[in-house]
Structure 1
Amino acid sequence: MNKPKKFIPVMLMPFQENLSIDYEALEKLIELYLKAGAKGLFANCLSSEMFDLSKDEMLESIDFIIKKVHGRVPVVATGTFDEPLERQAEFIRKVYDLGVDSVIVITGLMATEDQSNEEFEQNVLQLLNLTKEIPLGFYECPVPYKRLIAPEFLGKLSELGRVKYHKDTSLDLDHINRKLANTVDNAQFGLFDAYMVHAVDSLLAGSAGLSCIQGNYFPELIVWLCNHYDDVHKQEAVNEVQDFLRTQMEVMHYAYPTAAKYYLQQGGFPIALHTRRMDIEELDEQTKTKLDQLSLNYQDLKMRLQI
């Protein structure tokens, strides 16, 4: 519980006008995260529009990130997609060979929505067997559907010594507490919370850190919270940051990830608004006005708290 908490950003993917990956912007984005104080990077995730990338693009972009990071922080990246387990295991090997710290498994692709937890767990264990010694992590991605890992099963996985990272999206602090209770004896394992409504409580309960989309708007604020969540001299400021994250939740999720790209762009960061996702809301003028107000609210908070 007393270990330093880490911010692991879910990386955006910049695109050029022709929707090819903008590697110049991606390199600058890496440096933005690291300058803010991120202690790792989650590449090829939902924020990276991974379901709209080809496998070659996934491997190429992960390789680019690994080389540009050059060992400064660990990098994790998704390596499972909607394929038979044997094919998933093959791609996991390709991702791992690039030099990632752990390969992330999407829980919603380990069983169909109508399959039981027993079938899900059986498939996970089979994938572990197929991938031998490769360190893995688990991500309760909301796409194609959200499949939560039972706390007891996560505990069994952590005991194997190969599962290092878990991105929790349960939105349920009690569920998180039970996961933490079942993994407390594994010093190599870390649960990272995605839900900022209870960020402080999650950190106090023993989570390893935060891995949230809010870090694509103001990564330095999430780092600040990881550093000061339990500082008795800053509790008023901590509470104010928690309230800010809670009350601004809706505007940051609407039209995401385009909204985050707009927010960064308005702040002077060289990223275009292009996206391959066709299933998100339109970034209309009303949404832009709300994001502009979010920026003003954050600048006020940042100035008052000297962040």
Structure 2
Amino acid sequence: MTHFEGVYVAMVTPFTDAYEVDYKRLRELCDRLISGGVDGLVPTGSLGEYATLSGEERAKVVETVIEAAAGRVPVVVGTAAPSTEQAVGWVRHAKAAGAAGVMALPPINYKPLRHEVIAHFEALSEVGLPIVAYNNPHDYKVDLTPDFLAELSRIENIVAVKEFSGDIRRIHDILEKTGLEVMVGVDDLAMEGPLFGATGWISGVPNALPQEGAQLFRLAREGRLKEALPLYRRLLPLFHYDASPQLVQSIKYMMELSGFPVGPTRPPRLPLPAADYEAIKQAFEYAAVSRI
């Protein structure tokens, strides 16, 4: 059984011009993504600026997304936090709110020892929700290698991995060494990943282009390379921004270009230089040639 199949959008968090969470726009975003054909929603991840939210805001964002989804698609909640106790608390909240699962990083505040990573995930697992382990060795100090994931996969509720290393060879090794589902974690492997066995994609740019993202992943999973490749090549310049530290500003601007503005980013994320916005606009206009 596949728990989290297809395109799951790592949702942005809309803000008003006064930097308050725009819950009305958040509900509209849920409807837009679901009607665009995505398979699941992932609030309060890095792209959702979780670290800038108060506890009350973060809880309300999760509850709003689950209520707005209304069972139409599963919701997998980002649970990153400075301590294991806090992360467990967010898993408990997700379960109580009706989430289908959670996305969980290893400890994020320092470089933990191997047994500490295992204990962290064991504590999360005890809550009783399916877990997508998030491997992001670029931004954090732990690399969940295929061998390490083989060990972690023995923990009862770890069922999948969001693979963000950017190394396509990892997908083959994970599938060979574990029973985990692999979810592509970087947008610029959104075609290669499903071609080689990934069953899911936790995506960024489909916040702005949900139909295109859903179509691309479906074509690649079906092996329809002749149809997938032209679409992928049009989207690839945009997809590269998903792996940039400025991904939030970039994707929120793409959403503005798509006719669905979601407000600013919260400091410390500030507006990008004008040249960066111009480059994103050119990439978006190039992608628009293939608009569905």
Mapping of residues 114-125 of structure 1, within 5 Å: 115-125=112-122
| Alpha-carbon distance in structure 1 between the residues aligned to 2:186 and 2:142 | 16
**85-94 vs 22-31, greater mean Cα deviation:** 85-94
Q: Deviation per CA, 1:71-124, whole angstroms, max 9, x where unpaired?
A: 1111011224102x3343233212221111112221243x722x3334322433
User: Which residue is 1:19 aligned to?
Assistant: 19
1:267 counterpart residue number: 258
Separation in 1, partners of 2:148, 2:135: 14
Tell me: CA distance 1:3–1:241, structure 2 relative to 1, closer, same or farther (3 Å).
Answer: farther
SS at match of 1:165: strand
Structure 2: give runs of 5+ residues left out of the alignment: none
1: CA distance, partners of 2:74 / 2:114: 31
Instruction: Give 1:215-294 correspondences, 5 Å limit.
Output: 215-231=206-222, 234-251=224-241, 253=244, 255-272=246-263, 274-279=264-269, 282-294=271-283
Indicate how the Cα distance of structure 1 residues 197 and 146 shifts in structure 2: closer, same or farther if over 3 A, else same. Answer: farther
Whichever residue aligns with residue 192 of structure 2, its letter is D
What amino acid is aligned across from residue 78 of structure 2 in structure 1?
Answer: T
Please state whether the residue corresponding to 1:211 is helix, strand or coil: strand
Equivalent position of 2:178 in the other structure = 183
- SS of 1:297's equivalent in the other structure is helix
Report what 2:110 is aligned to. Answer: 112
User: Which residue number corresponds to residue 199 of structure 1?
Assistant: 190
Equivalenced residue count is: 291
Distance apart, 1:160 and its partner CA: 4.3
Closer, same or farther in 2 for the Cα pair 1:247/1:275, shift >3 Å?
closer
- Could you say if the C-alpha distance between residues 82 and 72 of structure 1 is closer, same or farther in structure 2, counting changes exceeding 3 Å? same
Residue 240 of structure 1: how far off its partner (Å): 2.1
CA distance in 2, matches of 1:32, 1:97: 25
> What is the CA-CA distance between 1:215 and the residue it aligns to?
1.5
Q: 1:52 to 1:291 in 2, by over 3 A?
A: same
Correspondence for 1:213: 204
1:59 paired with 2:59, answer: yes
The TM-score, its normalising length taken from structure 1, stands at 0.83
1:142 deviates by: 6.2
Distance in 1 of aligned mates of 2:217 and 2:53: 32
% same residue: 21
User: 243-252 vs 45-54, which deviates more?
Assistant: 243-252
**Runs of at least 5 residues in structure 1 that lack an aligned partner in the other structure:** none
SS at match of 1:48: coil
User: 2: distance between equivalents of 1:94 and 1:254?
Assistant: 28
SS of the aligned residue for 2:81 comes to coil
Query: What root-mean-square deviation, in Å, do the aligned CA atoms of Structure 1 and Structure 2 show?
Result: 2.8
TM-aligned CA deviation for residue 41 of structure 1: 0.5
Within 5 Å, give how 1:8-47 maps onto structure 2: 8-47=8-47
Distance 1:277 1:10, change over 3 A: farther
Other-structure match for 1:98: 97
1:236 offset after TM fit, Å?
2.6
The structure number with the bigger radius of gyration is 1
Q: Classify the secondary structure of the residue corresponding to 1:47.
A: coil
SS of residue matched to 2:103 = strand
Deviation at 1:60, TM superposition (A): 0.8
2: distance between equivalents of 1:24 and 1:298?
Answer: 28
Evaluate the alpha carbon distance shift between residue 150 and residue 73 of structure 1 in structure 2; reply closer, same or farther with a 3 A threshold: same
Please report how far the alpha carbon of residue 178 of structure 1 lies from its aligned counterpart in structure 2 after TM superposition: 1.1
Aligned counterparts, 1:159-170, within 5 A: 159-170=154-165
Offset, 1:159: 4.4
C-alpha spacing 1:166/1:32, structure 2 compared with 1 (3 Å)? same
* 2:75 aligned partner: 75
